[in-house]
Structure 1
């Protein structure tokens, strides 16, 4: 059974549990007789109801427990006795506590819903959809956050059409949470501005370094790949400690765009190392390039096996880049068969063939 099926089953069990408990207590009381004093255990109904139910449902189950207690007390000839009175008091007290607990839980759920709403707005501002067509390229993007509550994390992407061609970035901020989101915002803001202004990709990366060095401290850093495409059929890449993009040729062959010399991530000036050298890759009609974050290749299945991206690259053969990328994302989620442990960002570039629209 999938995790979604298990979650639905758990919800059904939690919803029926209060009635089941009251039914069991009632049956045991009828079979055992009044001398064992099971009536107070009917308070388990409203107690469990407060865990998942709303205020009205908790109150309804509490009233139902009181009615059952009175009926069983009448059957056992216990009306007006100490045992019956204690049972009614226990049920009333637990119901009142359950109502207060349900009110607090509903308030927290509303607050969480507000946080999710703000996060979704932040995601739309920070990670905008890329254009489906840019120059001679078609593009698609996919983003899946490991933080299910916030829907946003530290992975980033952007695509800008500038005077020199189409420029893109895919990166991964070291760390999680709001600090990672703020760092991603710094990188994207600097890239969006520099990609329009600077004459070459190296100058763009220098602007990113300056912006990050003003913000980052300690051992924080950002791995990234910057790419620039021109109509002449060449992609220029700068790789800052990031997984190498996957290049799929129109003839079906596949290569990793590995740089000749590896460079450290962005935001680590203390290392004193030189930045990456521009790495050029031919990119003709029908070719594709997949840029991605390490959440893709480091995703493990239940046996600990990493996701075999190269083996699954055939999923990108769909004519529609967005559909192709969605197939790959669904296959990745199926491979993990559970919550992702890291954010996943993927950006697919496809060089248009003659007749493409």
Structure 2
């Protein structure tokens, strides 16, 4: 773009000089610094602005002189506009530096909150992908985590009610509780009850101090948006190292899919539990359900942002259908394909956060 700006200065200067006396193209030289400011820094913009002023001076010398009222007015106007363009470019550069610093801190905090799953943990091969609905964000209200125990691996995949950055606090609460207690409880019902109690306690805490100040006219809209109970849907899995089964508790979450060469099976819980955070409304009895999980089998655990993604015609994303066509791929390749395919289906922008985790039991 800088080369184009320099070419414009040369072309406009030459054409103005050879044009008839009643045609004045010199004022168009201001386009050069304006174009440069859109892609280059303040110094390059200032240099191009000076060259544009030099071109306007050359035009005056070649025509009727630089001391005429008309040419002095053109020089003064171009100088004033050039100073304004360079000043705005300096402010933009300062804003870009501040934004880069904020983004760096935000990305670091997001990596700490949603740690990437290891590629290999015990006899399992893992792969994960996260698609945040908020622009420029890497995480939102969906979550996943893995923890080793003395006998196997435990996984958590959840979805906080709501979407985007406002739900980060609830996601952090559940992730912290899972990482602290996953290896302490010998059975899944005890762990699920602990997580539910932690979420109930966290959601019951007053949040007035953390709520943004709203204008009086926005209170009604905010109340309607925030109305209803807060909760977190989740699925807990326990995969023993020495076995061919997976134990799970489904707390109002979409059921995982079991991928085998002979087809895809939905691991629908016969006794699903309510979402986490609703245990204070009524006593909850958590029941572990067991499904076969042999070497070579794979599990896909996902959040509802995947299956609720719509295309331009309002059709939901056909997850099982797309999985059936990619059965032979490795977990990482499979998720990479689903990632691109899901975004293409939704037109490049999701309406809700989406997370997917693939677990393969190695031979």
TM-score between both structures, scaled by the size of structure 1? 0.82
Equivalent in the alignment of 1:243: 254
- Residues 231-240 or 285-294, more deviating: 231-240
Check if 1:169 corresponds to 2:127. no
Alpha-carbon spacing, 1:75–1:183, altered in 2? closer, same or farther (3 Å): same
Alpha-carbon spacing, 1:96–1:226, altered in 2? closer, same or farther (3 Å): same
Equivalent in the alignment of 2:262: 252
Alpha-carbon spacing, 1:23–1:343, altered in 2? closer, same or farther (3 Å): farther
- Contact in 1 for aligned 2:139/2:165 (Cα 8 Å): no
Equivalent in the alignment of 1:8: none
Check if 1:289 corresponds to 2:299. yes
* Equivalent residue in structure 1 for 2:125, among 134, 138, 150: 138
Check if 1:299 corresponds to 2:286. no
Alpha-carbon spacing, 1:295–1:31, altered in 2? closer, same or farther (3 Å): farther
- Residues 53-62 or 146-155, more deviating: 146-155
Query: Where in structure 1 are there 5+ consecutive unaligned residues?
Result: 1-11
Query: Which structure 2 residues correspond to residues 102-113 of structure 1 after superposition, within 5 A?
Result: 102-113=89-100
- Residues 87-96 or 18-27, more deviating: 18-27
CA distance in 2: counterparts of 1:348 and 1:122, whole angstroms: 24
Shift of 1:101: 1.2
CA distance in 1: counterparts of 2:282 and 2:9, whole angstroms: 70
Equivalent in the alignment of 1:205: 192
SS of residue paired to 2:192: helix
SS of residue paired to 1:185: helix
SS of residue paired to 2:357: strand
CA distance in 1: counterparts of 2:234 and 2:320, whole angstroms: 20
CA-atom RMSD, angstroms? 2.9
Once the two structures are superposed, residues 95-152 of structure 1 have per-residue CA deviations (whole angstroms, 9 ceiling, x without a partner) of: 2111221111112212222222223322332222323333433222222333452323
Number of equivalent positions? 339
SS of residue paired to 2:321: coil
Shift of 1:289: 0.8
SS of residue paired to 1:114: helix
Equivalent in the alignment of 1:179: 166
CA distance in 1: counterparts of 2:53 and 2:162, whole angstroms: 52
Once the two structures are superposed, residues 228-278 of structure 1 have per-residue CA deviations (whole angstroms, 9 ceiling, x without a partner) of: 1223322222222222211112x4211112223454422234654746643
Check if 1:351 corresponds to 2:354. no
Alpha-carbon spacing, 1:23–1:295, altered in 2? closer, same or farther (3 Å): farther
TM-score between both structures, scaled by the size of structure 2? 0.81
